[in-house]
Structure 1
Amino acid sequence: MKLTPEISLEQKQELIMTPKLQQAIELLQLSKLELNQRLEQEMLENPVLERAEEEGEEVEEDLTDEFEDVDWEDYFVDSSSNYKVNNYDQDEDEYNYENFVSASLTLEEHLLHQLHLLQLSSQQIKIGEYIIGSLDNNGFLDTSITQLSKELKVEESGVEEVLAKIQQFDPTGVAAKDLQDSLLIQIDNLVLEAEKKELMNKIVTDHFELVSKNQLRKLSKELSIGLEKIQQLVDLIKMLHPNPANLYTKEVDTKYIEPDLIVEKINGRYVVTMEQDSTPRLRINAYYQKLLKKFKSDAKAKEYLQEKINSALWLIKSIEQRRMTIYRIAEVIVDLQQEFLERGLKYLRPMTMQDVAEEIDMHESTVSRATTSKYIQTPRGLFELKFFFSPGLETKTGEVFSAISIKKMIKDILAKEDKKKPLSDQKIADKLEERGVEVSRRTVSKYRNELEIPSSTQRRRYS
């Protein structure tokens, strides 16, 4: 069979993502803050776009002649001899000191401040600053004394002397080599009887693994001490700070959440409203609309203006479409979660994105984008819209419970358990079955781990 090149026609359909469609999809998944930033950028790039005036404000109609009625002589009055600052009728609250956010000290700043309060030589200050700068995110020093002395080109004894001073700084236990070392430093600084401190040191040094696994009965036998006394000593150890750095701020961005939607109960029914500032209102500047009619001869100027106006109109349409999509999704969620709104987390109904998509006749991916980083304020608290999408488990009676509601039941059961005889995962499953929820021991174990609740062995107390 001979292969020869040939030209052929083929007809097929393809879905092409136009720039406008891409823009609409991108706007849909933006958070409230990101949307505002995006619109500010759009208004800078597109002169025909402007924010709509608030209700009650009058808008100048004849914008083409807006500069003709200005009294330019009064405008340029020489006021060079008067240096008074104009009063702009600013809010008195603007300079209220309560409106200023104070900056919290980081661990490094706090330690450096204490270091410079000591009467040390310049070389010791240098060593101390280097040690503080070498601490990891947990406040531990994972570099050896030998390595530090080589890097600083000083004697090891000099490094040890300064390190010992830093380890006594607040918070106690900082600059230790690891968790056990930190706990030993903290125990040494406790105001306790010498016997108790000695026993606590022995437990941390020689039996730390038993404490971490809560094997107190075995620990009691090895130390020949009563269980109740062991429990008291372990409780004291657990009161110490395992991570000194957590007491001070880390350099992270603070994220503020403002709801996009609000749910209120009005006349016996729950009503969804969009937060007024969640979707900024834009419009086409009337001045440019009138200017477009004047550019009859200048084709380039007319084409430029027409392009900008079309772009602005599409953006306004996309924002409105985004607003309506989010609102419709929220309405469906509220309709399906009436019992949760009335009675709380335990009654959260299982729901998937597909359920909502079918209700509003949209694709599941659209629901996913529309619920990303969107928040709703309800009588039960502030939640991300995605929070309401939870898989469910069906019982023998046909009743369906969401995973979140089952986790809430597990927490309630464990809150009432006898700490001396904690419930095993199987017993928790049995108690859930008594409530009409039939789940396996494996499922209970999975949910308990997701809730970061330790096993029955680790929850057991002996006093």
Structure 2
Amino acid sequence: MVVALGHKVGQNQRLSLTPGMKESLQLLKMPLPALLDFIDQKIAANPFLDWKDGAPPSALTRLSGFAQDAADTLEAQPPSTAYSLLHQLAAQHATELEQRCALAILDALDEQGRLPIPPAEVARNAHLPPGLLEQVRQRLLRLEPYGVAARSLEECLHVQLEEQGEAHSDMLAVLAHLPLLASRGAAHLASVAGLPVQTVKDLLARLRGLDPFPWRQAEGAQPAGIRPELIASKTETGTWAITLPDTPEEAIRFETALITRIRRTPHARTPPADTQDMTAHWQAQARWLMRALPRRSRSLLAVARHVLHYQAASLDHGPQALRPLSMVQVARALRLNDSTISRIVANKYVQTPRGTLPLRAFFSAALGANTDTAQASGAARACLLHLLESETAHRVRSDQDYAEALRQHGFSLSRRTVVKYRRMLGIPSSFERMQAWQAGTVRPA
């Protein structure tokens, strides 16, 4: 056997993110309370930055819960991800037993937000109904941040794809064989999935834009509760106006007077080189923040206006009027990357006459292949929930009955899809609902 040493020269292209670019991407994803905390830390560490009035304006503090008084610090601390999930579940009118199931699931999660043990074992340990606990887990999966309480990485990503309307057959085929990527590479994965290699590479690039650890990321960002940053209001002409009423960049001052004083310092009193370097660093950081904040506001407003104008019917008539919309569609319309859209939409809420809603709620997958005529899956789920809520003790309908009822409302769904949506909504089977009515307990809908 002959062993030879050699070398070769080659070229390749790849995107390299600078620290400034990484921070800009983080700014896009931050909710307003976390953003104000980030700005306050920058101001505390940079003499060239300050709040115009010495503190954040009252309008922003009302929106964010930002605390200036030490006595209010405990109350104003952003709640944990677990608290946020329980708060969202309670807003869906979860029963006391369902909330106990949610607590048992959240207590069993590992540091990545996965459920490492079977749901049946969690139910047995907590003395809870296994079927109901699994239904609650399915609901937790689809609350912000999407994918918490998943049993695996594949399930976590699958839920995020569903919520973004991108869980099509090619993507699911790649997701089903994802473990092959690390051991055998993209070419082998493409062969097993029965797809062209380039298609698989494009789908993998999209998967990389998802969040594999939503619990860990959310905990690191200290997510605040449901606080609207956008306002949707109807104008006199009957159209919807989407506004971003108060932006942090308007409340920050760049201390140009300090720069002037430094420049006027006599040459004999020139500070040492390390001080000059730190001064230059502070100025660069200040200028970056003054540019990055307006970009965040413009991007958020542009995405929100496009999404909410497209979904104006749902603002008028509720979620049953949702139209199919994916983040890829919005990205193409605004000429942005779909991962950028995902960051902009994350943890952002809009105040509407129908309540405060997550911006993500206006994205929904299409029920049909033709997106021009298809209806949104979110609209179908809202219609199903409305039908289930009108159920009485004398008329408990089966999944097939609801499939027929939905067809009369324009939603062509199979019984299997109705079962899937019912479980996503945390609604028990018709047999369990009938038993609940006969027992005289509150219906778990």
Query: What's the TM-score, normalizing by structure 2?
Result: 0.56
**How many angstroms apart in 1 are the aligned matches of 2:420 and 2:25?**
36
The answer to whether the 8 Å contact 1:346/1:406 transfers is: yes
**How many angstroms apart in 1 are the aligned matches of 2:339 and 2:373?**
28
| Structure 1 residues 298 and 416: CA distance shift in structure 2, 3 A | closer
> Any idea what the Cα deviations from partners look like across 1:214-249, whole Å, max 9, x if unmatched?
xxxxxxxxxxxxxxxxxxxxxxxxxxxxxxxxxxxx
| Structure 1 residues 357 and 178: CA distance shift in structure 2, 3 A | closer
1:261 aligns with 2:235: no
The answer to whether the 8 Å contact 1:32/1:279 transfers is: no
Q: Which residue of 2 aligns with 1:12?
A: 12
SS at match of 2:375: strand
Q: Which residue of 1 aligns with 2:260?
A: 290
Q: Which residue of 1 aligns with 2:35?
A: 35
1:405 aligns with 2:379: yes
For residue 29 of structure 2, what is the amino acid of its counterpart? Q
SS at match of 1:376: strand
**How many angstroms apart in 2 are the aligned matches of 1:39 and 1:353?**
28
SS at match of 2:233: strand
1:281 aligns with 2:251: yes
Give the structure with the higher percent helix: 2
1:99-248 aligned at under 5 Å gives the runs none
Displacement of 1:12 in angstroms is: 2.9
| Structure 1 residues 354 and 179: CA distance shift in structure 2, 3 A | closer
**Counterpart selection for 1:348 from 313, 322, 328:** 322
Displacement of 1:315 in angstroms is: 1.4
Q: Which residue of 2 aligns with 1:153?
A: none
**How many angstroms apart in 2 are the aligned matches of 1:443 and 1:264?**
35
| Structure 1 residues 272 and 49: CA distance shift in structure 2, 3 A | same
**How many angstroms apart in 2 are the aligned matches of 1:443 and 1:7?**
57
**How many angstroms apart in 2 are the aligned matches of 1:17 and 1:277?**
26
Displacement of 1:329 in angstroms is: 0.6
SS at match of 2:428: coil
The answer to whether the 8 Å contact 1:354/1:364 transfers is: yes
| Structure 1 residues 334 and 385: CA distance shift in structure 2, 3 A | same
For residue 406 of structure 1, what is the amino acid of its counterpart? A
**How many angstroms apart in 2 are the aligned matches of 1:8 and 1:454?**
64
Displacement of 1:6 in angstroms is: 4.0
For residue 50 of structure 2, what is the amino acid of its counterpart? E
**How many angstroms apart in 2 are the aligned matches of 1:37 and 1:376?**
21
The answer to whether the 8 Å contact 2:249/2:290 transfers is: no
Aligned length: 281
The answer to whether the 8 Å contact 1:337/1:348 transfers is: yes
**How many angstroms apart in 1 are the aligned matches of 2:224 and 2:411?**
38
Displacement of 1:411 in angstroms is: 2.3
> Any idea what the Cα deviations from partners look like across 1:14-52, whole Å, max 9, x if unmatched?
211111111111111111111111111111111111123
For residue 359 of structure 1, what is the amino acid of its counterpart? A
SS at match of 2:364: coil
**How many angstroms apart in 2 are the aligned matches of 1:336 and 1:317?**
29
> Any idea what the Cα deviations from partners look like across 1:106-128, whole Å, max 9, x if unmatched?
xxxxxxxxxxxxxxxxxxxxxxx
**Counterpart selection for 1:383 from 340, 353, 357:** 357
The answer to whether the 8 Å contact 2:399/2:419 transfers is: yes
Displacement of 1:410 in angstroms is: 1.4
Q: Which residue of 1 aligns with 2:407?
A: 433
For residue 244 of structure 2, what is the amino acid of its counterpart? M
| Structure 1 residues 375 and 430: CA distance shift in structure 2, 3 A | same
Which structure has the bigger radius of gyration?
A: 1
The answer to whether the 8 Å contact 1:395/1:436 transfers is: no
Displacement of 1:420 in angstroms is: 2.5
The answer to whether the 8 Å contact 2:247/2:297 transfers is: no
Displacement of 1:443 in angstroms is: 0.6
1:366-377 aligned at under 5 Å gives the runs 366-377=340-351
Q: Which residue of 1 aligns with 2:310?
A: 336
Displacement of 1:255 in angstroms is: 5.3
1:415 aligns with 2:389: yes
Displacement of 1:421 in angstroms is: 3.7
For residue 358 of structure 1, what is the amino acid of its counterpart? R
Displacement of 1:425 in angstroms is: 0.6
Once the two structures are aligned, what percentage of the paired residues are identical?
26
Q: Which residue of 2 aligns with 1:21?
A: 21
Displacement of 1:442 in angstroms is: 0.5
**How many angstroms apart in 2 are the aligned matches of 1:360 and 1:420?**
51
Q: Which residue of 2 aligns with 1:47?
A: 47
> Any idea what the Cα deviations from partners look like across 1:52-78, whole Å, max 9, x if unmatched?
359xx9xxxxxxxxxxxxxxxxxxxxx
**How many angstroms apart in 1 are the aligned matches of 2:368 and 2:9?**
54
**How many angstroms apart in 1 are the aligned matches of 2:392 and 2:43?**
63
Q: Which residue of 1 aligns with 2:430?
A: 456
SS at match of 2:367: strand
Query: What's the TM-score, normalizing by structure 1?
Result: 0.54
**How many angstroms apart in 2 are the aligned matches of 1:262 and 1:33?**
17
> Any idea what the Cα deviations from partners look like across 1:253-278, whole Å, max 9, x if unmatched?
99543211111111222111113156
Displacement of 1:348 in angstroms is: 1.4
Structure 1 unaligned blocks of 5 or more: 58-93, 102-136, 139-176, 181-207, 210-252
The answer to whether the 8 Å contact 1:29/1:373 transfers is: yes
Displacement of 1:414 in angstroms is: 2.7
